[in-house]
Amino acid sequence: MTGRWHDPGDWGERGHPHEPGAPWWVLLRLRTRAFLAATVTALPAAVWAGSGSVEDVGAVVLIMLASTAVPEVRELLAEQAWRVVLERRLRTAFLELRVANRRGRTPTVLRSAARNGAVVVRVWLPVGLALPDLTAARHRIAELCFVDEVHVRSREGSRDTAEVVLLRHTLGQRA
């Protein structure tokens, strides 16, 4: 067939991609946001419960805000924020690109870590999805996640687990 569209033949047989909706998977997806929300609210509340003083709560809040003035802390917070954002963008890219098995199951994000300007996301590949499927979609994943490079590698000792490395170059530091 000529033109831009080429029918792969079996798309009609595939289910629509979806994320697992079981409660433990939802908790796994939302664990970082829940931890941050709990920490930000629990620390001043604990100080309030312990001392009962508004001044002490204000001092704790000021220390929390002043810690962002330290460049190393600010960079750490920015890396962790990018980690959370890119983890969600990767999940959305899997859905949009239909990186899924025949039943419509997309790779499940197990954990992620921010390291030296890169975010390493460990994903579990459901049955019927292999590493070459992720590798074939890596350029489109880079576009959808707004990163410069995406590398996909297998995890040692496990055929069902892969690591997706999302590289984001900061302005003026292109390789």
**What pLDDT, on a 0 to 100 scale, did the predictor assign at position 24?**
66
Angle formed by the axes of helices 71-96 and 138-145, nearest 10°: 130
Q: Is 162 exposed, middle or buried (0-12, 13-18, 19+ CB in 10 A)?
A: buried
**What pLDDT, on a 0 to 100 scale, did the predictor assign at position 39?**
76
**What pLDDT, on a 0 to 100 scale, did the predictor assign at position 10?**
52
d(C-alpha 64, C-alpha 67), whole Å: 5
Q: Is 44 exposed, middle or buried (0-12, 13-18, 19+ CB in 10 A)?
A: middle
Could you say which DSSP state residue 98 is in? T
Q: What is the pLDDT of residues 110-158, one digit of tens each?
A: 999 988 889 999 999 999 899 999 999 999 999 999 899 999 999 888 8
Could you say which DSSP state residue 4 is in? S
Most confident by average pLDDT, 32-36, 102-106, 118-122: 118-122
Sequence letter at residue 91: R
Q: Shortest CA distance to 115 belongs to which of 168, 63, 36, 43?
A: 168
| β-strand partners of 158 | 155
Output the pTM of the full model.
Answer: 0.66
- Is residue 23 within a helix (H) or strand (E), and if so which, with residue range? helix 23-51
Q: What is the pLDDT of residues 37-93, one digit of tens each?
A: 777 778 788 887 888 788 888 887 777 777 767 778 778 878 888 888 899 999 999
**What pLDDT, on a 0 to 100 scale, did the predictor assign at position 6?**
46
CA 14, 144, 114, 77 dihedral sign is negative
d(C-alpha 108, C-alpha 118), whole Å: 19
**What pLDDT, on a 0 to 100 scale, did the predictor assign at position 19?**
63
Average pLDDT (169-173) is 59
**What pLDDT, on a 0 to 100 scale, did the predictor assign at position 93?**
93
